[in-house]
Amino acid sequence: MTILDYVVGGVRRLPYYSTRPLELANTLSRHWYRWREAERGAPADCAFLVSGGLGDKIVAARYVRDLIEHCGPMTFDTYGSKPGAIEFAFDGIEGLRDCFSHEDFFRTRRQYLAVFDVTDFVWMRSLSPLFATDARQRELIEKLRGIGRSIKAFTHPINNFANMVRNRPHLDNLLAQTSVAKGYNRHNFCHALSGIPYGGHSLDIPLKDDALRCFGLADRPYITIADGYDREFEGIDAEAPRSTKSYPHYGALVANLKRLFPDLYVVQVGKGPSLPIAGTDKLLVDKTSLPELASVLAASRFHIDNEGGLVHLATTLGTPCCVVFGPTNLAYFSYDENINVRPVTCGNCYWITDDWMTRCPRGDDIPVCTREISPDTVCKLIAPTIERAIRAPQTSMA
């Protein structure tokens, strides 16, 4: 790849380089090593550029799983932020070769049959025009060409769809409302774009066999709760004490549940700047790897959270959830299997402003959308499900 490729592709392709000589030398040396390593393996059939947090990676993994089911066997590489998290979500999908950082894509010399962007939408970045000599690849190219036609046909009548793609994530609210208006939501919209059937929520997620024993949770019925957000989210204010998505009454909710179920054991999980929730019995925030976190969620009888990546993970693992919604779109982000709590007032303001994740667009210190949801109301909604769950036989994962 030459400097011309970068110029044609736009300056946003260029990675950041320090102007300090020593830092620049170290960065170039590190990148040169990674470039050489990335080119040594045999090229895969396709590449998928995956963006977003853990939940977005899980949704993307389901899409790639179902795309392979539709098109037939293929090998693929992934590119995106936090390649380790992508590998965790894609681990059980047959055909995965390598997971690279997003910037490595613009340096690679690997030739792919097709390159896809997979985020809230699917966009076919390129499709090989070359005639493949291998019969399997010829058939795969024809199937992928059909996917491209489906995407074009689906998006053609949608006003400003190309603008939504170019300006994401700032027009994600409009994309969500468009998706809901057409009868789809976050986890099946990419499938609808491509004309392939949705294969369900489950994924083969890697678990840590001895996680429950290590954390003292083996053979103990418990529920999990989380109150966090992605600290690397675009436009986030690192000094903000909490996210606008966070439910401010978790402590009161836990107290209500323990009055109903005195022996209830509550484990707080998560990663990032989660605040400790009063009344929880064990705090595992930032104390688990992703496989360990998945193991804890898989054995949980019930999970309570605001809308976010752990809800996608828990739902993938078959754990029922209560999800308290605030600034994000309930119809778009919710799963029918979960108990989804709608804001009493306001809500659905995400990406109205760039810093919506940590500053309410109305200027409220605690957003009214979550503040007005009573913990008594939430408790009454979820108590019957928790009662059935804690009485169910324990499945040991120790």
pLDDT exceeds cutoff 70 at 287: yes
Q: Compute the distance between CA of residue 171 and CA of residue 159 in angstroms, rounded to an integer.
A: 13
- Cα radius of gyration (the chain): 22
- Average pLDDT of the residues of the chain: 87
> For 325-336, what is the mean pLDDT?
96
Cα(91)–Cα(85) distance, rounded to whole angstroms? Answer: 10
pLDDT band at 198 (very low <50, low <70, confident <90, very high): very high
* Rounded average pLDDT over 179-199: 96
State the pLDDT at residue 130: 64
Q: 390 pLDDT band (50/70/90 cuts)?
A: confident
pLDDT of 81: 87
Dihedral Cα 335, 341, 342, 344, nearest 10 deg? 180
Per residue in 260-273, pLDDT tens? 999 999 999 987 66
pLDDT tier, 9 (very low <50, low <70, confident <90, very high otherwise) = very low
The pLDDT of residue 27 is 65
Helix axis angle, 290-299 to 309-316, nearest 10°: 60
More confident residue, 25 or 113: 113
Q: What is the mean pLDDT of residues 69-96?
A: 94
Q: 117-131, 177-191, 241-255 — which is least confidently predicted?
A: 117-131
* pLDDT score recorded for residue 10: 35
Residue 396 three-state SS:
coil
Q: Is the pLDDT of residue 33 over 60?
A: no
Return phi, psi of residue 33, to 5°: -65, -45
Intervals of CATH 3.40.50.2000 along the chain: 211-391
pLDDT of residue 393: 73
For residue 241, what pLDDT is reported?
Answer: 62
Going from the C-alpha of 285 to that of each of 155, 270, 280, 288, 304, the distances in angstroms are: 41, 5, 12, 7, 14
Chain-centre distance for alpha carbon 257: 29
Question: Is the pLDDT assigned to residue 13 strictly greater than 50?
Answer: no
Q: Where does the pLDDT of residue 7 fall: very low under 50, low under 70, confident under 90, or very high at 90 and above? A: very low
Please compute the mean of the pLDDT values over residues 137-158 and round it to a whole number. Answer: 93
Per-residue pLDDT, 391: 84
Report, as an integer, the average pLDDT of 343-347: 93
The CATH code for residues 211-391 is: 3.40.50.2000
Span 299-319, average pLDDT: 96
Residue 192: band (very low, low, confident or very high) from pLDDT cuts 50, 70, 90:
very high
SS3 content of the chain, % helix, strand, coil (to 5): 40, 10, 50
Could you tell me which of 28, 346, 361, 62 has the C-alpha nearest to residue 188? 62
pLDDT at 107: 84
pLDDT at residue 42, rounded to an integer: 65
